[in-house]
């Protein structure tokens, strides 16, 4: 994909990015396309979607790389592989996550630990490896993690997932503090309800859609591109002085009841 000259001000031309969880039709894919449109080359990580990831990587001037974040060491190895393929790394978008919808009474320690491994330990390892490469490169960098409004809004049946997302907010603040002097910013985006593969089974459920809409002041569900816009800003030169924060992208959902 040729970079859009209208997006030159973002400073993303020629930047090297890794986006995780981009093999599905969701926020990762939209973020990869947005970065490529702004001129970045993007390594596309996937779990088990080799064809979709390869096709996306071709559009984004990068490579497709597989990794299962439930496997210890896989996230760190992925960053190193991406940097070898791209010749370095300027931007990390840690987007992949697993959703476990189960009440507390039915959630086992193993399930809880698996969710923390994929949603929290993997982004930690991704960020640590990316930061080491960015420091060595000497030109700073951008780390953006995808959290959730569950970071602040608990939901019944999401004890493992909600805990992992709450911890993501803390991780971002810790990393931001440690990396600020190196010109590496670390931020998160917190999506509300976005129509993606993660909730695709419910897209045709009129009751689910109506309930969600009744909670969203903007009166529409979110699209992956809504979140990609915030990621693009946090990955760009425009956000050079923004670090340690979480940008909510939820159409006002989290304002309800406040």
Catalytic residues: 161
Nearer to ligand NAD, 13 or 74 (CB): 74
Q: Which stretch binds ligand NAD (CB under 6 A): 80-88, 169-177, 196-204, 234-242?
A: 196-204
26 binds ligand NAD (CB under 6 A): yes
Structure tokens at 149: 């409004």
Structure tokens at 58: 């071709």
Please give the Cα distance from 125 to 150 (Å, whole number): 22
User: Minimum CB separation from ligand NAD for residue 128, in Å?
Assistant: 17
Q: Which stretch binds ligand NAD (CB under 6 A): 171-179, 189-197, 201-209, 240-248?
A: 189-197
Tell me which residue has tokens 């910013």: 185
194 binds ligand NAD (CB under 6 A): yes
Instruction: Report 94-123 residues binding ligand NAD (CB under 6 A).
Output: 95-98, 118
Ramachandran area for residue 257 (φ above 0: left; ψ -120 to 50: alpha; else beta): left
Q: Which stretch binds ligand NAD (CB under 6 A): 24-32, 79-87, 135-143, 209-217?
A: 24-32
Tell me which residue has tokens 């946090």: 234
- How far, in Å, are 172, 194, 209, 226, 250 from residue 219 at the CA level? 30, 13, 11, 14, 11
47 binds ligand NAD (CB under 6 A): yes
Please give the Cα distance from 3 to 41 (Å, whole number): 10
197 binds ligand NAD (CB under 6 A): yes
Q: Which helix (H) or strand (E) holds 189?
A: strand 184-191
Judged by the rule CB under 6 A, the positions of this chain that interact with ligand NAD are 21, 23-24, 26-28, 47, 67-70, 95-98, 118, 146, 148, 191, 193-194, 196-199
């Amino acid at each position: 994909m040729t970079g859009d000259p209208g997006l030159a001000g973002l400073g993303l031309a020629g930047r090297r990015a890794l986006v995780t969880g981009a093999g599905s039709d969701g926020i990762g894919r939209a973020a990869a396309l947005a970065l490529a449109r702004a001129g970045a080359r993007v390594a596309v990580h996937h779990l088990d979607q080799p064809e979709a990831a390869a096709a996306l990587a071709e559009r984004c001037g990068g490579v497709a790389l597989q990794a299962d974040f439930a496997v210890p060491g896989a996230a760190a190895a992925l960053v190193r592989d991406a940097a070898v393929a791209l010749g370095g790394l300027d931007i990390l978008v840690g987007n992949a996550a697993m959703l476990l919808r189960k009440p507390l009474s039915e959630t086992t320690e193993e399930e809880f630990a698996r969710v923390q491994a994929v949603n929290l330990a993997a982004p930690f390892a991704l960020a640590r490896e990316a930061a080491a490469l960015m420091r060595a490169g000497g030109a700073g960098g951008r780390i953006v993690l995808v959290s959730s409004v569950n970071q602040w809004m608990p939901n019944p049946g999401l004890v493992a997932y909600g805990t992992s997302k709450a911890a993501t907010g803390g991780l971002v603040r810790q990393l931001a503090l440690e990396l600020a002097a190196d010109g590496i910013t670390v931020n998160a985006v917190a999506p509300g309800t976005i129509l993606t593969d993660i909730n695709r089974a419910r897209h045709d459920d009129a009751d689910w859609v109506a309930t969600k809409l009744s909670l969203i002041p903007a009166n529409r569900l979110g699209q992956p591109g809504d979140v990609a816009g915030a990621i693009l800003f946090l990955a760009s030169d425009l956000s050079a002085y923004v670090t340690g924060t979480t940008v909510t992208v939820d159409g006002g959902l989290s304002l309800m009841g406040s």
